[in-house]
Amino acid sequence: MYIGTSIFLIALGAILKFAVTATVAGISIQTAGVILIVAGVVGLIVSFLLLNSRRGRAPEEVVPVVTERRY
């Protein structure tokens, strides 16, 4: 999951949890909202950890190639 998808899941979950008052037989919309919020937060944390681990690597050292010329 990328950062944008995680933020979208958090926003969608918050809408379902706090703004929707409709009821559906067999499913709690508010519970589905909480599940989406939790999934978005976990995805956001994983995205930041992966982003941080990629930045922590040092670039490989470039060894210049020296060629001798004979005149």
The pLDDT value given to residue 14: 96
- Does 47 fall in a domain? yes
- Does 71 fall in a domain? no
**pLDDT tens digits for range 19-62:** 998 888 999 999 999 999 999 999 999 999 988 877 656 667 77
The pLDDT value given to residue 37: 97
The pLDDT value given to residue 57: 63
- Does 21 fall in a domain? yes
The pLDDT value given to residue 62: 76
- Does 32 fall in a domain? yes
The pLDDT value given to residue 1: 58
- Does 63 fall in a domain? no
Domain that holds residue 13: 3-55
What average pLDDT does range 15-22 have in this prediction? Answer: 93
Q: Give the total number of structural domains in the chain.
A: 1
DSSP secondary structure, 1-64, as one string: --HHHHHHHHHHHHIIIII----BTTB-HHHHHHHHHHHHHHHHHHHHHHHHHHHTSPPPPPPP
